[in-house]
Structure 1
């Protein structure tokens, strides 16, 4: 039950995080980076903690107590009506914040300990539908989507591929730091070999131009960069699908060439499904599910 007339602020853009908590948010970022969490995970966790701290404008004395987490989750479930997966993400972020940063375990949160996601069958395309969708794609998105369908890669696994991860001799792809931080190998489709070879020639020319201009570094792990200072500029460590332009790394501040924007691929696949008149909710992950099904 929420007090009548209460105004909630659980988005950082709606109500700024109280200034007195800026240092604790920085501690959160430092802890995430120390434990080598992915940048997208760091951004998501920080956003959820900021929303929690901005909740009710930061006026509650109990806001940094575990009891406030239960109230916040209740607000998300009842007022915001968020999905179970979103609720779990918020809980994971706050559990990390309280347990690893504040050193205050959340303890038992009752029904908010974990929300169960409804079990749903994955959307799978027929071979004809998959072909029609792929035909509507162009450029880098076309090759990436073909890899998702032909190799069963996840979205982020595909855009994070490095040149060294493609083994043409064995016709396989090495997936580093996949889901659960596990490595695995998958098939490199024979039909994509010539396309990938031509693509890599273009990418290498881009990399050589970056080097000529004094750039040429790809995002790299800080510990490895200290041990192998020249590695970030080496060809084998470059992304197979690099971004079209250089950008500033949000963590280090260095000018790097990041990987292709995953959101652009997601939008392209969705648009292609519409043009192909596939009456199913098609996403990048749909291509992965279709790969697994068509192997049976």
Structure 2
């Protein structure tokens, strides 16, 4: 059985823990299933953020498979039966931080949200060093945000997540001096989604030779699924007689039904006979859920092969699905239901992408050149080149 080693290192100015092992395909595929594991091209290693709750969960995850692990001296030892011991936070802050994580879990936030908020609050408390937690105020928040945005080059979405995490922390621990009304929340970018045209979609599918990869790409587009929804799909969720797909426990803990394209039936049947999945629609070679990072990786690779210059992600296929439905005249209320949006306003963004009337407006330059051509010679077309 492989021995997995944990080593502390710095990556993008953050404390991280490297997960190292002698190459083994089974170990690699299993570790990729852990939600917060990332791959560093620079350090050539899998890693997780230096977060004690995450490290504890990773150890349990490895123990369940029977793997053993070894920690270097700089990685704090975590007793799986007791509370984590942190070298960075004093006893008071460590206790409050651990109770904050339980507070988030009690609000039934997803594991991803708990890890994200927990990570940012942990980094903030570490940033304040030995300052008493009751004396921490919004100025400390401002200093931390200025440092994090400038030094770590956080994106706008990460900036908003930090603010949201600290507002939750202030609500959980009102004894601190943070006035949430004085914490500035930057506005969201109003960017339009990346949408592929139907020719690009078909070329992408055609260039994807691997049967499993082709099934994944076509399902993402043909049913408008989020990457997490696809990964969690089980065989029992397919109803081919009614051409319906049952999407369970999607974003916001909501179930919904969406469609299965009839043209996909032969492909899905071929995929099922070839790979013989047991529980999930898409499974890794050793069983269990497929890795979302693997989907992003082969999608990026096949997009280059297809000659698509746009940045293509799994969500781009969902955006394309919604836009193409609008273009063929589907009522926006039905699209909202198929996508699982809570508010119509969220779905309305696609109306900005698919303005048929705008696309039909002719530029005055086209009209001018056309009129010149007609006036000078009915058989000769005026060109700029």
Deviation at 1:124, TM superposition (A): 1.0
Deviation at 1:274, TM superposition (A): 1.0
1:240 equivalent to 2:281? Answer yes
Deviation at 1:41, TM superposition (A): 2.0
Structure 2 counterpart of 1:132: 203
3-state SS of paired residue (1:74) = helix
Kindly tell me: are residues 54 and 69 of structure 1, through their superposed partners in 2, closer, same or farther at Cα, counting changes over 3 Å?
same
Range with greater deviation from structure 2 (81-90 or 191-200): 191-200
1:123 equivalent to 2:164? Answer no
Structure 1 counterpart of 2:311: 281
Kindly tell me: are residues 109 and 151 of structure 1, through their superposed partners in 2, closer, same or farther at Cα, counting changes over 3 Å?
same
Contact 2:160 2:185 in 1 (8 A): yes
Structure 2 counterpart of 1:45: 117
Deviation at 1:85, TM superposition (A): 0.8
Deviation at 1:92, TM superposition (A): 1.8
Kindly tell me: are residues 151 and 72 of structure 1, through their superposed partners in 2, closer, same or farther at Cα, counting changes over 3 Å?
same
1:293 equivalent to 2:323? Answer yes
Structure 2 residue corresponding to 1:147, chosen from 206, 211, 219? 219
Structure 2 residue corresponding to 1:272, chosen from 290, 294, 302? 302
Kindly tell me: are residues 132 and 164 of structure 1, through their superposed partners in 2, closer, same or farther at Cα, counting changes over 3 Å?
same
Report the Cα distance in structure 1 between the residues aligned to 2:134 and 2:110, rounded to whole angstroms: 27
* Residues 70-104 of structure 1: CA deviation (Å, up to 9, x unaligned): 3222322344342221101112222223323x345
Q: If the length of structure 2 is used for normalisation, what is the TM-score?
A: 0.56
Q: If the length of structure 1 is used for normalisation, what is the TM-score?
A: 0.71
Kindly tell me: are residues 245 and 117 of structure 1, through their superposed partners in 2, closer, same or farther at Cα, counting changes over 3 Å?
same
3-state SS of paired residue (1:286) = helix
Deviation at 1:280, TM superposition (A): 0.9
Contact 2:134 2:175 in 1 (8 A): no
Structure 1 counterpart of 2:15: 12
Contact 1:273 1:282 in 2 (8 A): yes
Q: Bigger radius of gyration, 1 or 2?
A: 2
3-state SS of paired residue (1:128) = helix
Report the Cα distance in structure 1 between the residues aligned to 2:135 and 2:148, rounded to whole angstroms: 17
Contact 2:277 2:283 in 1 (8 A): no
Determine which structure has the larger strand proportion and give its number: 2
Deviation at 1:283, TM superposition (A): 1.1
Report the Cα distance in structure 2 between the residues aligned to 1:199 and 1:96, rounded to whole angstroms: 45
Which ranges of structure 1 fall in alignment gaps of 5 or more residues? Answer: 1-8, 208-237, 247-256
3-state SS of paired residue (1:266) = helix
Contact 1:172 1:186 in 2 (8 A): yes
3-state SS of paired residue (1:13) = strand
Which ranges of structure 2 fall in alignment gaps of 5 or more residues? Answer: 1-11, 18-49, 51-86, 328-385
Kindly tell me: are residues 134 and 17 of structure 1, through their superposed partners in 2, closer, same or farther at Cα, counting changes over 3 Å?
farther
Determine which structure has the larger helix proportion and give its number: 1
Structure 2 counterpart of 1:176: 248
Kindly tell me: are residues 183 and 63 of structure 1, through their superposed partners in 2, closer, same or farther at Cα, counting changes over 3 Å?
same
Deviation at 1:120, TM superposition (A): 1.4
Report the Cα distance in structure 2 between the residues aligned to 1:51 and 1:27, rounded to whole angstroms: 16
Deviation at 1:281, TM superposition (A): 1.2
Structure 2 counterpart of 1:254: none
3-state SS of paired residue (2:280) = coil
Q: Give the 5 Å matches for 1:248-259.
A: 257=288, 259=289
Structure 1 counterpart of 2:261: 189
Kindly tell me: are residues 118 and 162 of structure 1, through their superposed partners in 2, closer, same or farther at Cα, counting changes over 3 Å?
same
Deviation at 1:136, TM superposition (A): 3.0
Q: Give the 5 Å matches for 1:58-73.
A: 58-62=129-133, 65-67=136-138, 68-73=140-145
